[in-house]
Amino acid sequence: MSNNQSYIALLLDAPLQAWGISSRFERRGTALHPSKSAVIGMIAAAMGIDKYDPTEPAQIVELAELNIMMITLPKKNPMRRIEDFHTTEGTLRADGSHNKNCVVSRREYLVDARFGVLIKGENELLHRIASALQNPIWGIWLGRKSCIPALPVFVGHEGDEAIIWRKLLSYAKIAEDSSLDEFNRIEEVKEFSEGNDSVRDTPITFSRPAAYRPRRIRSII
């Protein structure tokens, strides 16, 4: 790791979480781990980045260069999905038109889920992110506005991966000698051959229409 790079650790813990990867029409599911776009969206909200500002795409592209690792941190009860029902107006039809009548949508949430996030990037950018997460301009939630964090999401910003990993373990009340290899995780890789899956969750802009590009990941289970 170069001298001008370091890590930030986040803890995502809440009674409910929802990490949408397909959130259109009547069925809105959740992945079993946070997406990169969701974490960057949370950071962008904390920093007060307005998606309607002409400079928003440039700011999002800067955040998208961060290397983000998602780690599943088990709780006492196993993680599970639940489904809720919402009555919604103005939903989008398959032909692109909007429905004038109310429809029932099915929305999934994760219960008893907890995730650690390790973010690697340039020191100056990480300092700005750390400051924003500790004093956010706009609200932080874990996927949907009903998913309020149970704890402050910011854990720390210091040192290399080993140091920040121990800080995350301490914050989550997990034995600090636990190895990263003991946990299921999603790692971001640079070379295609290093990964085992590709996901389209790297944001280009959150403005309308939102746009994303793929990234290569290694899923370790």
In terms of pLDDT, which residue wins out, 117 or 23?
117
Percent of the chain scored above 90 by pLDDT?
A: 73
State how far the Cα of 208 lies from the Cα of 206, in Å rounded to an integer.
7
Which of 36-50, 57-71, 103-117, 121-135 is predicted least confidently? Answer: 103-117
Q: Is the pLDDT of residue 25 over 70?
A: no
State how far the Cα of 143 lies from the Cα of 122, in Å rounded to an integer.
26
Q: What's the pLDDT at 23? A: 59
> What average pLDDT does the segment 155-173 reach?
93
The CATH number assigned to the domain holding 150 equals 3.30.70.2660
Q: Is the pLDDT of residue 54 over 60?
A: yes
Q: Of 160, 186, 163, 134, give the one whose Cα is nearest residue 5.
A: 160
Domain count of the fold of the chain: 1
Q: Is the pLDDT of residue 79 over 80?
A: yes
Alpha-helix residue ranges (DSSP H) falling in 83-154: 123-134
Q: What's the pLDDT at 106? A: 80
> What average pLDDT does the segment 50-71 reach?
94
Q: pLDDT band for 26, please (50, 70, 90 cuts).
A: low
In terms of pLDDT, which residue wins out, 124 or 107?
124
Both tokens assigned to 209: 């229409």
Question: Quick check: 110 and 19 in contact, CB under 8 A?
Answer: yes
pTM recorded for the entire structure: 0.87
Domain with 36, as residue range(s), is 5-220
